[in-house]
């Protein structure tokens, strides 16, 4: 197995490994690399759905997407299908975000296996290290944010895709620390995103909007904390859904893209970072 960094701050490509047939030593190496690099890319993988799920379960129980729990989607509850048609005007994840951060316990990891890529070469995904995003802030701003919580509302994301809940349907909402402590490496990270975060609690809305929009803009325009993955057929990418945000780029109008994602449950709610 060989592990090579994509950028100094986030991402690594792992070669010389078959995810369908892993030794205990290989699993340990992958877990260590995941904690260090936050995003891992594996090319040339041939996985059935069961093998994809089995790989996910090496990291914990699988998360059930809220759309599967409230009857909006009848597909396999452990799989989230990303099937972008050639005439699509929207695609999943076309904004910087953490997957379903509106959950009381958001997933700790997402694992996307892409088998069909756009023929025009588009469809890359960008990732941002939110540990580094926090570390680059001034001490005064860090101190302010450490004391705050943010409200995450899943209906914000639904509205972005033109989806409205029917009578009797619900979607998660939750308050989380704006700067949680990563449960494995102990570091602080920013945890707010435009797809799910409504506002910072306990301050006027205009102040919340000012702070959040500034943080979102900084994440989107700071190449020092980012990496970019170019997909090829049969590529699997897993990322830490706590310390990383991602952005799927829709630059392939007229072409199709297909992938399947499993997500891994965390063991507890995000906990605030205490210096």
Q: What is the pLDDT of residues 179-238, one digit of tens each?
A: 999 999 999 999 999 999 999 999 999 999 999 999 999 999 999 999 999 999 999 999
Residue 22 and residue 238 in contact, taking contact as beta carbons nearer than 8 Å: no
Least confident of 6-15, 30-39, 79-88, 155-164: 155-164
Q: The pTM is what?
A: 0.93
What average pLDDT does the segment 99-122 reach? 96
Top CATH class of 2-266 equals: alpha beta
Return d(Cα 26, Cα 144) in angstroms, integer. Answer: 42
Q: What pLDDT digit, counting tens, does each position of 59-103 carry?
A: 999 999 887 766 555 678 899 999 999 988 767 667 999 999 999
Return d(Cα 73, Cα 64) in angstroms, integer. Answer: 11
From the number of C-beta atoms within 10 Å of its C-beta (0-12, 13-18, 19+), residue 265 rates as middle
**Domain extent listing, the chain:** 2-266
Confidence of residue 161 (pLDDT cuts 50, 70, 90): low
254 φ, ψ (degrees, to nearest 5):
90, 0
What average pLDDT does the segment 119-130 reach? 97
**Would you state the pLDDT for residue 169?**
75
Return d(Cα 41, Cα 11) in angstroms, integer. Answer: 8
Least confident of 32-41, 124-133, 164-173: 164-173
Place of tokens 């990303």: 82
What average pLDDT does the segment 159-178 reach? 83
């Amino acid at each position: 197995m060989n592990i090579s960094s994509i950028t100094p701050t986030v991402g690594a490509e792992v070669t010389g490994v078959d995810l369908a047939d892993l030794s205990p030593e290989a699993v340990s190496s992958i877990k260590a690399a995941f904690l260090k690099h936050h995003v891992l890319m594996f090319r040339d993988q041939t996985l059935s759905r069961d093998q994809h799920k089995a790989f996910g379960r090496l990291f914990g129980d699988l998360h059930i997407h809220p759309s599967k729990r409230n009857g909006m989607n009848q597909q396999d509850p452990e799989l989230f299908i990303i099937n972008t048609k050639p005439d699509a005007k929207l695609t999943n994840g076309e904004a910087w975000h953490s997957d379903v951060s509106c959950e009381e316990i958001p997933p700790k990891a997402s694992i996307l296996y892409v088998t069909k890529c756009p023929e025009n070469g588009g469809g890359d995904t960008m990732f941002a290290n939110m540990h580094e995003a926090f570390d680059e802030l001034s001490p005064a701003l860090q101190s302010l944010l450490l004391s705050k919580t943010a409200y995450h509302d899943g209906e914000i994301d639904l509205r972005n895709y033109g989806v409205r809940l029917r009578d009797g349907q619900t979607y998660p909402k939750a308050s989380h620390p704006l700067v949680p402590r990563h449960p494995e490496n102990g570091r602080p990270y920013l945890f707010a995103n435009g797809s799910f975060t409504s506002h910072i609690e306990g301050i006027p809305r205009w102040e919340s909007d000012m702070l959040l929009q500034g943080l979102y803009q900084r994440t989107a325009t700071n190449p020092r904390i980012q990496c970019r993955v170019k997909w090829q057929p049969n590529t699997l990418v897993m990322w830490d859904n706590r310390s990383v945000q991602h952005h799927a780029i829709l630059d392939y109008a007229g072409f199709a893209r297909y992938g399947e994602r499993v997500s891994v449950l965390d063991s507890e709610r995000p906990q605030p970072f205490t210096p």
